[in-house]
Amino acid sequence: MSSTKHAQNADVFQQNKEKATWHDNALWFVREKRDRISKTLPEWEELRALGEKIKLHSVSHLASYLEQFAANAEANGVIVHWAKDAEEHNAIATEILQKHNAKKVVKSKSMLTEECDLNHYLEAKGIEIIESDLGERILQLNGTAPSHIVLPAIHMKREEVGELFSEKLNTEKGNSDPTYLTRAARVSLRNDFLTADAAMTGVNFGIAATGEIVICTNEGNADMGTSLAKLHIASMGLEKLIPDYESLSVLTRLLARSATGQPTTTYTSHFRKPVEGGEFHIILVDNGRSDILSNEEHIKSLNCIRCGACMNTCPVYRRSGGYSYTYFIPGPIGINLGMLKDPVKHSENLSACSLCYSCNNVCPVKIDLADQIYKWRQDLDSLGKANSSKKLISTGMQFLFTHPALFRTSLKFSSLAKYAPRSLTFGLKEWEDGRSLPPFAKESFTEMWKKGKVKKK
């Protein structure tokens, strides 16, 4: 069977068995932390139900909340911009930076700017951009992309980071002590914070009632960047909007517990006004989000608060790593968001799911991730992306199973199946690579029944 890109990449990932095991265990550890802390809250499942409702309510009343948010933000002295797509977002950010003659920008973690490929865009315009989240900084120095949305460098072992830092930050060769390496990154970043002309951040939540944004970090890097620079540009996806503080209180309780198993992130920072003598810009980005709003089957994807819990629990993600997926967001939510972005380009991630439904159960805002993957698979044929072998098997099965007499005959001869021509046994090789085929019974249940061997007289 011709395999998908994900399956091919996953096969390569599994060839380093030791590292694959380590990756699986590292993420399972986070899943277990999440389990433990979620079970300390008796109201956990109620919170999830509330989280789901809040997000669904927010996205289905997006227009009015956006108006409210923008009006309140502007009243606070914030300059609000609207970007219909990634290109417009990048152009707006560049224009603001150029107007301020900013040559160097520190940025805190933002999956949206990753989505817009902002870093490359700014670099091409001669603006230096420094990632200030440690994981993101490691990857920036390494010239690679995140493999997880919360733990971006989870695929790298500390020895690899040690080697990278000794090359880029002149740390001692062979020293991969995490504390030592973190300190080295901190010293280097401290200099960047002090010399940056502007700070960019993502947004975890936008509060319509007050026009402020909330950013959750563990390292305080968003606070450091925005405190030192006079110019703050925050990039915010439309779906980050929520009504008020009450909704925030539900979602912040869910976010860190789901993401890393912490009761809360170290910093939950609210940004409402520009610093004295400075400017605060918020760029509201659509980039395909409003199209999802009208997509009844997949609207719940917009609930996502980017906690990464679905990745940590996904048995396929843990064993295949973020780079096995074609979209920049991997795992169950990434499979779905990739399909919403460009179904033809990202359909080969759809194989990366055994439909175990664990993701549905961990999701703090109850996105039906596995059901959505199932639904996307139904679209493959019309997209011209259906696997021809799978289609043939399915057609063959339909024929066999809609002809009960034929099915019964095949049951009789099923013990001969292994002598069938290759064309009738797709997938046999793939199965037998690691598993024996189950031997067929000498007599099927149907035969036993028909011969009167089942029913007691």
Partner 1 sequence: MKVGLFVPCYVNAVYPEVALASYKLLTHFGVDVDYPVDQTCCGQPMANAGFEGKALPLAKQFNDLFEEFDYIVAPSGSCAGFVKDTYPRLMEKEGCTSKVSGKVYDLCEFLYDILKVDKLPGKFPHKVSLHNSCHGLRELKLGSASELNIKPYSKVKALLNLVEGVKVVEPIRVDECCGFGGMFSIEEPAISIRMGNDRVNGHSDTEAEYITGADSSCLMHMGGIVDKNKMPIKMIHVVEILAAGL
Q: Which of residues 412-431 bind partner 1 (CB under 8 A)?
A: 414, 426-427, 430-431
Closer Cβ to partner 1, 64 or 395, answer by number: 395
Shortest Å, Cβ 318 to partner 1? 9
Of 198, 362, 367, 369, the residue at the interface with partner 1 (CB under 8 A) is 362
Of 79, 209, 275, 411, the residue at the interface with partner 1 (CB under 8 A) is 411
Which span sits near partner 1 by CB under 8 A: 76-84, 91-99, 177-185, 405-413? 405-413
Q: What is the DSSP letter of 347?
A: G
Of 203, 208, 256, 352, the residue at the interface with partner 1 (CB under 8 A) is 352
Residues in 432-451 at the binding interface with partner 1, rule: CB under 8 A: 433-441, 443-446, 448-450
- Interface with partner 1 includes 209 (CB under 8 A)? no
Q: What is the DSSP letter of 366?
A: -
How many residues touch partner 1 under the rule CB under 8 A: the total is 81
- Interface with partner 1 includes 60 (CB under 8 A)? no
Burial of 34 (0-12, 13-18, 19+ CB in 10 A): buried
**Which element (helix H / strand E) includes 201?**
strand 198-201
> Could you give the C-alpha distances from 140 to 82, 98, 145, 348, in angstroms and in order?
28, 23, 8, 27
Distance, in Å, from the CA atom of 375 to the CA atom of 73, rounded to the nearest integer, reads: 39
Using CB under 8 A as the criterion, what x/- string covers residues 379-398 for binding partner 1? Answer: xxx----xx--xx-xxx-xx
Closer Cβ to partner 1, 180 or 407, answer by number: 407
DSSP codes of every residue in 281-335: EEEEE-TTHHHHHT-TTTGGGGG-----HHHHH-HHHHHH-GGGSSSSS-HHHHH
Shortest Å, Cβ 235 to partner 1? 32
- Interface with partner 1 includes 316 (CB under 8 A)? yes
Of 350, 365, 367, 369, the residue at the interface with partner 1 (CB under 8 A) is 350
Beta bridge partners, 232, equal 199, 280
Closer Cβ to partner 1, 124 or 383, answer by number: 383
- Interface with partner 1 includes 320 (CB under 8 A)? yes
Query: Which positions ≥6 away from 19 have C-beta within 8 Å?
Result: 157
Pairing, β 198-201 against β 279-285: unpaired
- Interface with partner 1 includes 28 (CB under 8 A)? yes
